[in-house]
Amino acid sequence: MRNYTKHYINGEWVESTGTDTIDVINPATEEIIGQISSGTEEDVHRAVMAAKEAFPYFSQTSREERIALLNNIVKEYENRKDDFVQIITEELGSPISKSESVQYEMGLQHFKQAAKELETFTFLEDRGGHVVQKDAIGVAGLITPWNFPTNQAATKLASAFAAGATVVLKPASKTPYAAIIMAEIFEKAGMPKGVFNLVNGSGSRVGNAISSHSDVAFVSFTGSGAVGEKIMKNAAEGIKKVSLELGGKSPLVILPDANIYKAAQTAVEGVANNAGQVCTAATRTIIPHSIKNEFVEAVKEIVANYPVGDPVKESTQMGPQVSKDQWETVQSYIQKGIDEGATLIAGGLGKPEGLETGYFSQLTVFSNVKNDMVIAQEEIFGPVMSIITYDDLDEAIEIANDTVYGLAGYVYGEEPKLLAHVAKSLKAGRITINNEDGDFQAPFGGFKQSGIGREWGDYGIEEFLEPKSILGLPNV
Ligand code: TAP
């Protein structure tokens, strides 16, 4: 059992001021794997005070000192690889191979990228008649979701440390252990006390206390739109800055000249990855009407052979949903798709055969989906694909953009002019052509209801800075 009932405040592991605990459950076995403290408003206050006290010193550290700190973090993070892989497999149900190649790796890359950005980052810019100096924003409250425990925290933390901001982190209570390992890493890396503080607990208590605390200057949140709204409302009271990375309902536009089998593989991967619990998941597959029958057959074949199951097995590619609640949400959307008259071509209601224990969903695909159906408009956060057909490319682009979201978009095909045209026409924060590799410098964030602000690389660092223009600065 992993019983970690302390918070990390002002460079020390301290008892909570409350006595309540929260159970952490392995979603593949439904067993309790440990407890964390259910933190209180008083715990948040202590953490914010520690971060406030550390800010004057940390915000004035040199670029070189912060590069050295980030490089130390990278070294210590690499030393804890096995621990990360094991815990993310247990707390999230992530397939073990992906816990390493995706979950562990993404967190690491954000710290590496922040150190690299700092080498050339401009904190003082001479713009002719004035200079712009970028100052660290102050105490930042970071609230993260459960779907990528290292990635979601690391992108915020790396940017904050690079900028010279101090932080209070509240990770999702369903997946708290990766952040506890990070706290241990920061301590070993020589983090000055008070710069990083970790308070565990529920969103309604700890998250709410962070976003309403008067000494928090900036709240950086990743999660659902509903909670994003609450955070904005809280932040409005003290005029705090917020950045929100929310959901998506991203389109994958397949061009008429695409290799049908490879396009189908891309589409299936797009919804199976992390059991569909990905904000950038390509859940609307938009295909030419002319290739529909062939495409549907290819998807059926790929889904029938997709390795769903025990996350601990090396061959598994899709594990369970993170929780019973999330599993039930996915089931309710599959039922909605059936009720709306979409055609179920793979998967469906209930658990996959032989996987009665654990919150496993079936990899599910609907065809004959209309873009105004609920399954095509709402974020399901599960392995459910909607196939929608188009007759010409203008219609494909119109369907792709007909959503309240705008986090990501994908294009797959051959003709460079068409690929470029579609990519440039999609209204979303990140477009990927033909499965291009990720780039940790590329800004990440959403249009419309997918959020406010950008993370990753230099854009991520900018979020933790306030630009100050100085007119008439003497040349001293
Ligand atoms: P959320 O409730 O949004 O949880 C995200 C984070 O916010 C967690 O740390 C959560 O804490 C915290 N939180 C909850 N209520 C809060 C409040 N009133 N004030 C401040 N923080 C609060 O997401 P969820 O319930 O876990 O998932 C629900 C749906 O959100 C999913 O089905 C999916 O559609 C969406 N979602 C999106 C993303 C991304 S990356 N866009 C990630 C996760 C979920 P606790 O969970 O510890 O209480």
Which residue ranges make up each domain of the chain? Answer: 2-246+449-471, 251-443
Question: Measured from the CA of 228, which atom of ligand 1 is nearest?
Answer: 3
Which residue has a Cα nearest atom 39 of ligand 1? 223
- Catalytic pick among 279, 379, 455, 463: 279
**Ligand 1: centre distance to CA 176 (Å):** 13
Question: Measured from the CA of 450, which atom of ligand 1 is nearest?
Answer: 41
Report, as an integer, the average pLDDT of 197-210: 98
* pLDDT value for 469: 98
**Ligand 1: centre distance to CA 475 (Å):** 49
* Average pLDDT along the chain: 98
Question: Measured from the CA of 247, which atom of ligand 1 is nearest?
Answer: 41
For residues 216 and 142, what is the distance between their CA atoms, to the nearest angstrom? Answer: 10
Give percent of the chain with pLDDT exceeding 90.
Answer: 99
Query: Which of these, 108, 93, 98, 7, lies nearest to 48 by C-alpha position?
Result: 7
What is the pTM assigned to this prediction? 0.98
Q: Ligand 1: which of 24, 143, 210, 219 to mutate, most ligand atoms within 8 Å of CB?
A: 143
Q: SS3 sequence, 245-259?
A: ECCCCEEEEECCCCC
**Ligand 1: centre distance to CA 454 (Å):** 18
Banded model confidence at residue 475, pLDDT cuts 50, 70, 90: confident
For residues 186 and 242, what is the distance between their CA atoms, to the nearest angstrom? Answer: 25
CATH superfamily, with its number, for domain 2-246+449-471: Aldehyde Dehydrogenase; Chain A, domain 1 (3.40.605.10)
Banded model confidence at residue 102, pLDDT cuts 50, 70, 90: very high
Banded model confidence at residue 1, pLDDT cuts 50, 70, 90: confident
Report, as an integer, the average pLDDT of 207-228: 98
Q: Are 209 and 26 in contact (CB under 8 A)?
A: no
- Catalytic pick among 91, 117, 245, 379: 245
Residues with CB under 6 A from ligand 1: 143-147, 170, 172-174, 202-204, 207-208, 211, 222-224, 227, 230-231, 245-247, 279, 329, 379, 381
**Ligand 1: centre distance to CA 424 (Å):** 31
Q: Which CATH architecture has domain 251-443?
A: 3-Layer(aba) Sandwich (3.40)
Report, as an integer, the average pLDDT of 343-363: 98
For residues 30 and 249, what is the distance between their CA atoms, to the nearest angstrom? Answer: 29
Determine how β-strand 12-15 pairs with β-strand 6-9: antiparallel
Question: Measured from the CA of 208, which atom of ligand 1 is nearest?
Answer: 19
Q: Ligand 1: which of 222, 224, 404 to mutate, most ligand atoms within 8 Å of CB?
A: 224
**Ligand 1: centre distance to CA 229 (Å):** 11
* pLDDT value for 272: 98
Question: Measured from the CA of 382, which atom of ligand 1 is nearest?
Answer: 32
Which residue has a Cα nearest atom 8 of ligand 1? 172
E strands present in 39-188: 124-126, 130-136, 139-143, 166-170
- Interval 380-395: pLDDT, tens: 999 999 999 999 999 9
- Interval 215-225: pLDDT, tens: 999 999 999 99
Question: Measured from the CA of 379, which atom of ligand 1 is nearest?
Answer: 34
Which residue has a Cα nearest atom 27 of ligand 1? 224
**Ligand 1: centre distance to CA 379 (Å):** 13
Asked about 328 being catalytic, the answer comes back as no
DSSP SS3 for 432: strand
Q: Ligand 1: which of 210, 212, 227 to mutate, most ligand atoms within 8 Å of CB?
A: 227
Give the total residue count for the chain.
476
**Ligand 1: centre distance to CA 448 (Å):** 19
Banded model confidence at residue 58, pLDDT cuts 50, 70, 90: very high
- The residues facing 22 across adjacent strands are 36
Report, as an integer, the average pLDDT of 85-102: 98
For residues 183 and 188, what is the distance between their CA atoms, to the nearest angstrom? Answer: 9
**Ligand 1: centre distance to CA 382 (Å):** 15
For residues 66 and 69, what is the distance between their CA atoms, to the nearest angstrom? Answer: 5
Report, as an integer, the average pLDDT of 408-420: 98
Asked about 279 being catalytic, the answer comes back as yes
CA–CA distance from 37 to each of 21, 30, 107, 208 (Å)?
Answer: 4, 20, 24, 16
